[in-house]
Amino acid sequence: MATPSLNLQITEPELKLLQTLVYQECGMFFDERRVHFLQDRLARRLKATGLNSFYAYYQLLTSREGKTELNALLENLTVNETSFFRNKPQLELFAKTVLEDVLHKKQARRDFSLRMWSAGCSTGQEPYTMAMLIADALAYYYLRNPLPYESPSATKPLIPQPWRVEILASDINYSVLRAAQEGVYPEHHMEPVDYAFRLRYFDKVGDRYAIKKAVKELVHFDFHNLKTEFLPQRNDIIFCRNVMIYFDEAEQKRLIDKFYRCLNPEGFLFVGHAESLFGLTDKFRMIHLNNGTAYQRIEVHA
């Protein structure tokens, strides 16, 4: 392979081509505030491939052989910052109000399945937080509303019978999905996790914390690109937090429309602290309580 010049400058047309390609592939939009980040990552990937122009790199990305490199580039462009129990007021709304409402309505319909999706899950702290909160919410719910046919002597599973809880967690970045699947975290990631949660839902392995098997079994990790139309359907609740901030307004609107279709009637959408559906859709109603915000699908009745 040819050795590229170390100080290869990207031309304006090359930058436009690559910027558009990235946008079309994953929805991430690099405006003037973030374009330096894009340029830096493109330069690194160009160097790694040994190609001698950004146009040659563009041609590689758009060729059949360029699929692996395209994934590598997208992985380099994603921001994967996350943490356990991120945005506590919103999680309080999720656990104490939204879950309560969903469980109550489902139980009344004799529908005991709960399906949730963490879209853009990064290294797994978000879907595992959801799993811990659901396990707690169901335990508390049944303390107050025992099922008539529950055997008091039975050893209590994490999710009480006859409930089935599925959490799908997806991302566009295979490296973070592998780390999420492993579910083992260093001490400094555990700071937001209360001791009661650590005791119930983690095993200490050396100086690290491993998510307990029963919690892991609730979460299924998979690759999904939110730019595509083929997204997981029939969700009761979707978390897509701190992902849309990297999209432009047109892409945000498309994604919110897709989430509407991916939700069950009256389903809930949670977005990040710095994100809002204001001005982007009239298909959701906002619920705001004690600094926590969620959006509920509005049903149109004929």
Q: Which residues bind ligand SAM (CB under 6 A)?
A: 26-28, 78-82, 86, 120-122, 126, 171-173, 176, 224-227, 241-243, 272
Confirm if 125 and 86 have CB atoms less than 8 A apart: yes
Give min distance, CB of 301 to ligand SAM, in A.
33
* Nearest residue (CB) to ligand SAM, 124 versus 267: 124
Instruction: Classify 264 as helix, strand or coil.
Output: strand
Q: Helix axis angle, 12-26 relative to 67-77, nearest 10°?
A: 90
Give min distance, CB of 149 to ligand SAM, in A.
38
* Nearest residue (CB) to ligand SAM, 103 versus 218: 218
Give min distance, CB of 54 to ligand SAM, in A.
22
Q: How many CB atoms lie within 10 A of CB 190?
A: 18
Give min distance, CB of 245 to ligand SAM, in A.
8
Q: Report DSSP letters for 212-251, one per residue.
A: -HHHHTTEEEEE--TTSS-----EEEEEE-SSGGGB-HHH
Give min distance, CB of 58 to ligand SAM, in A.
20
* Nearest residue (CB) to ligand SAM, 179 versus 210: 179
* Nearest residue (CB) to ligand SAM, 175 versus 296: 175
What span, in angstroms and rounded, lies between the C-alpha atoms of 237 and 259?
A: 10
The radius of gyration of the chain's CA atoms, rounded to the nearest angstrom, is: 22
Partners of 292 in the β-ladder: 289
* Nearest residue (CB) to ligand SAM, 123 versus 141: 123
Give min distance, CB of 238 to ligand SAM, in A.
11
Give min distance, CB of 86 to ligand SAM, in A.
5
Q: Which of 241, 226, 239 is nearest to 267 (CA)?
A: 239
Amino acid (one-letter) located at 138: L
Partners of 203 in the β-ladder: 210
Amino acid (one-letter) located at 132: M
* Nearest residue (CB) to ligand SAM, 81 versus 229: 81
What span, in angstroms and rounded, lies between the C-alpha atoms of 165 and 133?
A: 12
* Nearest residue (CB) to ligand SAM, 54 versus 246: 246
